[in-house]
Structure 1
């Protein structure tokens, strides 16, 4: 039995917080200052986290190690299983040529570069983020934007800026799943709260993209397209996350947004069209080929929607097994037990539903088993370095949470009182800037936000969701994201130039969001909290 203590150093939250902050600070410094690999940074941070838990908080070494093992197992069932199957579906579409058909179809929607930027970077980027995440939309959309005529740096900047609002529900809402595991707050409530914050960011992004492409002149000429894409995405994001299935929020929002934009271009076009010669443009794909190219995403919408129907949900719940994690008996400082039950939901988990969508994709695209296996191998190869980092970050998160380190930091930061709502988004923002992952920042800081909420009297649901939504605004500044964007467009070494181009947008959006969250913590906008 281990009982948590939150101020073991001189019975002081302040002094103890210095030690509690060492593991994360060390990882951030190694990543951001010394440019070490995420794998090495996470490994060193994990070792130091174990040392702080055992030497400072007096947590038995075996218990600390076991807590980290719980985190690894949790990440395998959630993030890892989803990521592998999402990348498998993507590689199937690439190997069958249907991804190229999808890409070609965008150039036939409109010949205006500003509208194409919205379609590719915002609508299609959100769709890729919805099913894969992990920087995949940045790489794909950057390359596609270069292919239609944008300069490499501008293409990378647009892909980075666009890959923000969709991130909170990325990879079938993996960040929300992780946040639920860290905070024990209801999954659907967290998803609903994020769905009442992210739409305000999403509605602005198409306007920013148009401005990046063509400045104020572009805004004057193509604001109807930006309004249609942003408004329909925002409204759909709110409706789906609050009233349907959180997992498919961005899948549906991206498709609805693209549909609204396509419908608009049938009856309206800018007074002056901005184009560049495209020698690679081919004939418009046939409707049958278009339907097949979109088939994987249609299957995802259908399967995940059906999984929410009560009779089907009850049937899937037979594939859930819960058991107390062996060797973990933990209590909080007040003597209440810490929940160490582990859930193996091998049927209703998003990764398994995604696997089923992959099988349907195989059938629809007439993919032979040998090709599907090669695609699965390619997916495993692509995520082979990402998975160890994810496993170690979740191990760090659970060791910090269950040793008491996170609670120490949360109670110390709560000294800001009601004003904490202003800095709450910054914590999530910093986490994503350093780790490059909204799921990771929720693993690291989700519990901290809840502890701070309890100490300040602010809604835990609000601050937990804010950690996610604030985090997405740091995605464009993450070293990993910058490296992916630069590599995709062939400008490795010019990451600094890309960083300077997106920095102003990231800070401006964060400042506005901080004020928005503060108002949500007051009676002015407090009615928005579910």
Structure 2
């Protein structure tokens, strides 16, 4: 039996929107005011959303239950799979004793922690976002910063905020490609339009990171490095997205900014170095490292780069498409009481449309498998005993148990909100603001990413609504579809899913509320700027 979504259960879109927002508001207050642990807050949020779905939206209990189960399953595959393998790879590097050499090699570029932060949190983070996405960049780079002596909260917060520069074009441009699919606009055109504004945000991020880490002192002492890092990234991002497409901006920008900043440090260093953690304890002269030593130490991350790059190439992807040699390695499991039984209705879609619910188990083509293979190669290259490798895996699983539970709850809530129609109610309420909607359009994208933790999922959820609303209020659809992406990017730094991933990577389990508060104000400022820019674009385009 099918069930049709109803987006205004109280016959007043604003009252319905307030009701739909209750789980989100509760989650905000739980983390910021009541300081409830992420595991408890996320569980209660799921319970609230479930009760609203069955009692107010009249969603059948078995469908609401299965929507939550679908979210739980999706949280394991592919998200938790990626997080576990990424953190495992990092821990293998530490277990082998090679991370000391990695730290020393980074210090050989500059012993200043602020420059190290720009190299790792900004540039390397962007590279991993472009190649893998879905939490792996934050998990790996935050763990690297902790290994370099940064405090866990500081490391996780910096990496979450730095991810703002690269979120729109993550995982080889998938967010923009999906936006094009649901809106009917060429993804390359969407990418080019984003290229007129996002490089400006990217340019400011290194300065913001310095401000967060070391205040005005950091800006006054390190502005040349921030200028070089931000400008090189922004220029490469603009040129790539404008003349090539949305697939490669993160890769080219990250590599270019990394190389340019590293070369710049050969001719310029701050007069006063900022030392952290292990660097303060050990101020001895940096030992000479041979190329072979450095290559061996970095081999896990070289293997990671190689694997995720191969996994991102179109010839490799074609192996798994219909008719491909490895197509049978992808399992599609329909959720029996949910798949195509929930019907989307107007005005979210032009006519009643079945809402698919299929769990995709891509056993080989998953990004997590690429990272796992990199870990296996690392065990071989670093000659880590099998017993030690298995013990490291066990430790990783134990440490990530609570973050994975939080991710599971967050995705359960998101899927209930999506399948019950609660998230669409919020979207329609914002769309009802008419002339003010261009300013609020990025807020819709922000809500989408906060709910799902993914810019890609956000575009799949609200991309069509943005396009339909733009036509209704006589605004160029391209502007609002692009705003859905750029606004969504601003929520990645405090999405519950991202917070859980970062907390697990640096050992902040139970302190998610602190990390949430750390990133909240920056997300709000970036969102405000995005709203102003979008509104301005509708006036002049």
Which TM-score bucket, shorter chain as reference? 0.7 to 0.9
Residue 348 of structure 2 corresponds to none
> What's the C-alpha RMSD, in Å, of the aligned pairs?
4.4
Greater displacement, 276-285 / 190-199 = 190-199
- Aligned partners of 1:479, 1:324: CA distance in 2, in Å? 29
- Aligned partners of 2:203, 2:171: CA distance in 1, in Å? 22
SS across alignment from 2:109: coil
- Aligned partners of 2:386, 2:342: CA distance in 1, in Å? 47
CA contact (8 A) 2:121 2:162 kept: no
Over 3 Å counting, the alpha-carbon distance change for 1:428 and 1:37 in structure 2 is: farther
- Aligned partners of 2:47, 2:175: CA distance in 1, in Å? 22
Residue 393 of structure 1 corresponds to 410
Verify: 1:298 aligned to 2:302, yes or no. Answer: yes
Verify: 1:332 aligned to 2:344, yes or no. Answer: yes
Over 3 Å counting, the alpha-carbon distance change for 1:159 and 1:249 in structure 2 is: farther
TM-score (normalizing by structure 1) = 0.78
TM-score (normalizing by structure 2) = 0.77
Residue 320 of structure 1 corresponds to 330
1:409 Cα offset (Å):
1.7
Over 3 Å counting, the alpha-carbon distance change for 1:390 and 1:157 in structure 2 is: closer
1:330 Cα offset (Å):
1.9
CA contact (8 A) 1:179 1:446 kept: no
Verify: 1:286 aligned to 2:290, yes or no. Answer: yes
Over 3 Å counting, the alpha-carbon distance change for 1:128 and 1:383 in structure 2 is: farther
SS across alignment from 2:361: strand
Verify: 1:164 aligned to 2:161, yes or no. Answer: yes
Residue 468 of structure 1 corresponds to 488
Render the CA deviation track for 1:219-272: whole Å, top value 9, x for unaligned: 5664442222223333455677885895x8756654442222121222x22584
In the TM superposition, 1:93-492 aligns within 5 A as 93-111=93-111, 114-123=114-123, 132-133=136-137, 137-138=141-142, 140-141=144-145, 144-145=148-149, 160-161=157-158, 163-166=160-163, 173=170, 185=182, 189=187, 192=191, 196=195, 198-210=198-210, 219=219, 222-236=222-236, 253-266=253-266, 268-270=267-269, 272-274=271-273, 278=280, 280=282, 281=284, 282-317=286-321, 318=327, 319-328=329-338, 329-333=341-345, 334-426=351-443, 439=453, 447-448=461-462, 450-457=464-471, 458-459=477-478, 461-472=481-492, 474=494
Q: Aligned residues, how many?
A: 506
- Aligned partners of 2:3, 2:406: CA distance in 1, in Å? 29
1:143 Cα offset (Å):
6.3
Over 3 Å counting, the alpha-carbon distance change for 1:198 and 1:158 in structure 2 is: farther
Over 3 Å counting, the alpha-carbon distance change for 1:367 and 1:179 in structure 2 is: farther
Render the CA deviation track for 1:327-376: whole Å, top value 9, x for unaligned: 22121234322223443222212111221222222222222322221221
